[in-house]
Amino acid sequence: MKDRIIAWIRNYFEENGKDCVAVVGISGGKDSSVCAALLKEALGPDRVIGVLMPQGTQHDIQVAYDLVDFLGIRHFVVNIGKVCEQLVSAIAQEGKIAEAQVRSNRAYTSNTPARVRMTVLYGISALFGGRVVNTCNRSEDYVGYSTKFGDSAGDFSPIGDLLVKEVKALGYELGLPEKFIEKVPEDGLSGKSDEENMGFSYAVLDHYIETGEIDDMAVKEKIDRLHWNNLHKISPMPMFKKA
């Protein structure tokens, strides 16, 4: 798997940016860690830029620093906290509503930081002549655990067809330390892990996607509902056809 993906990345850059760098958002979790390691193997460390984007104070930011140090890649740190706060104020003022009302809106607070981060990645990509990496995996995409035009965006997707268990296996194959592969994924907002927020484990989800088998019918219904409701995130934009 590792060698096939590395060859695929090299081919992508040969056809879509022979001298370009790869720009990847770094959280220190399995997806960004595996993508960054793949890019280093495919392109060399000098052609990979990691971007750390905390929102204010991030309790686990050190893991992201440790990753870029381990890989020996260039990195930038762009704190998006002030930008997100300024957006809250501007939208509240324009809409003549209280800032607290904006902050209490779950759809806004969970998705806006991800979209700001993607804006940062494309800004750096423009400055350095790069291609932005999509770090989503198949399991998360299946239930819509990503932000449209946020972390679901990008120019190319090395692990988009891999289940969570496959991403982890690839991480070990790449020689990444366990702390990057097994770091508990969380949204940084709710204080809960992704699995706690979803109400089921990635192991259950992976098995269901792969085999169609699941023991808990309530969980099956939830997964099916999430998949159906979030298909728009991974489907082409609907477009009116004049003929």
Per residue in 114-153, pLDDT tens?
999 999 999 999 999 999 999 999 999 999 999 999 999 9
pLDDT above 70 covers what percent of the chain? Answer: 98
Residue at 185: amino acid letter:
P
Is the per-residue pLDDT at 179 higher than 80? Answer: yes
- Does the pLDDT at position 66 exceed 90? yes
pLDDT value for 196: 86
**In the predicted model, what is the mean pLDDT of residues 50-59?**
93
Q: How confident is the model at residue 183 (pLDDT cuts 50, 70, 90)?
A: confident
> CATH code at 157?
3.40.50.620
**242 falls within a domain:** no
Is the residue at 240 inside a domain? no
Whether 238 maps to a domain, the answer reads no
In a domain, 90, yes or no: yes
Token pair for 123: 């800004």
Residue type at 186?
Answer: E
Closest by CA position to 75, among listed 56, 48, 57: 48
29 Cβ contact list (under 8 Å, min separation 6): 63, 180, 183, 185
* Each residue's pLDDT tens digit, 199-229: 999 999 999 999 999 999 999 999 999 999 9
Write out the residue range of the structural domain in which residue 162 sits: 2-233
Q: Which long-range contacts (CB under 8 A, 24 or more apart) does 227-234 make?
A: 227/142, 227/143, 227/144, 229/144, 230/143, 230/144, 231/144, 232/148, 233/141, 233/144, 233/146, 233/148, 233/152, 234/141, 234/152
Please report whether residue 243 resides in a domain. no
pLDDT above 90 for 187: no
pLDDT of 36 reads 98
Per-residue pLDDT, averaged over 196-201, amounts to: 90
How many domains does the structure of the chain reveal? 1
* Radius of gyration of the CA atoms of the chain, in A: 18
Query: Mind spelling out the 3-state secondary structure of 179-239?
Result: HHHCCCCECCCCCCEHHHHHCCCHHHHHHHHHHCCCCCHHHHHHHHHHHHHCHHHCCCCCC
* Domain-located, residue 79: yes
Percent of the chain with pLDDT strictly greater than 90:
85
Report whether pLDDT(185) > 80.
no
3-state SS, 130-187, equals EEEECCCCHHHHHCCCCCCCCCCCCCECCCCCCCHHHHHHHHHHCCCCHHHHCCCCEC
Residue 192 has pLDDT above 90, yes or no: no
* Per-residue pLDDT, 54: 95
